[in-house]
Amino acid sequence: MSKRSIMHMINPMVHNSPFDINMAVDAGYDVVIPYTHVKLEEVAGLAQDAIFSRGPSGVKRTGMFIGGRDIGLAMDMLDQAKKSMVPPFEISVFADPSGAFTTAAALVACVERELKKNFKQDLAGTRAIVFGGTGPVGLATAVIAAEQGADTTIVDHFSIDTALEFAEEAKRRYGVELRATTAASDADKARLISNADIVFCTAKAGVQVLSAPVLADAKQLKVAGDVNAVPPLGIEGVGLMHSGEPLEHATACPNAVGIGALAVGDVKYRLQHELLDQTLNAGKPVYLDFRNAFGDAQKLV
């Protein structure tokens, strides 16, 4: 009799995400086991308990998912889990803290699609601004965009020191150069987007980041993407389901288009399902983070 599939869901926080649990079950896992308050130094022991208890055939039906909110910690946990494997006792591991990796990958892929479709260019050489760039989705978005060749600036609403700290971490971990700044006022935001080609809004839910007057100061904006699905939406004039509709308030940029949160969310949902399916059905161990997520998101869009 074939063994049932098991997903071990590792989380350093007090709860696992019901979203991720639902996604794992819908991807085909028979049993989903949540672990909370997990410390980095505990990951190796959990991984080895998972691999040595099932035999070479059972490990093919076993996966590990890493959640939380700290993308750096999630990457460290993924690395620790990978180092703990003893082939042929080896399971697949997928890191997606707070859905940040799949959301960011979907957002950047949607923006890239509109750039290619409407402006015949890709991300390389563009100037990108990431509002909410010190949050999990924002930082992952910035790293992906920078890896694709965009001159990328992360924006923290309150603190330039925080933005600089996250930019330094991105350079140390991923080898990308990010600019860092703060923007607490509409004047600051208008200054930032005046010469931007791309705007990513990844700020806190229910907060309007870019109002109509701010958008009116954009001079060369091409694509603006928002992941906030809670009113007021992050970019005034960009609807939830917008997927390349005109960006109505960017009056100086008549060809600019917007991408709404549910349009991004549709790709994110399909992307997470695809990556979870890979952990179960790839036939060999896979180790998945935002880089794998972006490659698959490009295919989905």
The 3-class SS string of the chain reads: CCCCCEEEEECCCCCCCHHHHHHHHHCCCCEEEEECCCCHHHHHHHHHHHHHCCHHHHHCCEEEEECCCCHHHHHHHHHHHHHCCECCECCEEEECHHHHHHHHHHHHHHHHHHHHHHHCCCCCCCEEEEECCCCHHHHHHHHHHHHCCCEEEEEECCCHHHHHHHHHHHHHHHCCCCEEEECCCHHHHHHHHCCCCEEEECCCCCCCCECHHHHCCCCCCCEEEECCCCCCCCECCCCCCCEEEECCCCCCCCCCEEECHHHHHHHHHHHHHHHHHHHHHCCCCCEECHHHHHHHHHHHC
**Cβ atoms within 10 A of the Cβ of 1, count?**
3
pLDDT in tens, 205-238: 999 999 999 999 999 999 999 999 999 999 999 9
pLDDT of residue 1: 56
> What percentage of the chain has pLDDT greater than the value 90?
96
Pick the CATH number of 6-99+267-300 from 3.40.50.20, 3.40.50.10280, 3.40.50.2000, 3.40.720.10: 3.40.50.10280
The SS3 assignment for 258 reads strand
- Residues 47 and 84: beta-carbon distance below 8 Å: yes
pLDDT of residue 2: 79
Domain ranges of the chain: 6-99+267-300, 104-264
Mean pLDDT of the chain, nearest integer? 96
| pLDDT at residue 55, as a whole number | 86
Q: What is the mean pLDDT of residues 158-186?
A: 96
Q: What is the pLDDT of residues 65-92, one digit of tens each?
A: 999 999 999 999 999 999 999 999 999 9
Query: Could you report the per-residue pLDDT of 258-275, keeping only the tens digit for each?
Result: 999 999 999 999 999 999
Q: Is the pLDDT of residue 58 over 70?
A: yes
Per CATH, the number for 104-264 is 3.40.50.720
H/E segment holding residue 288: strand 287-288
Confidence grade of residue 162 (pLDDT, cut at 50, 70, 90): very high
The pTM score is: 0.96
Instruction: Tell whether the model's pLDDT for residue 41 goes beyond 90.
Output: yes
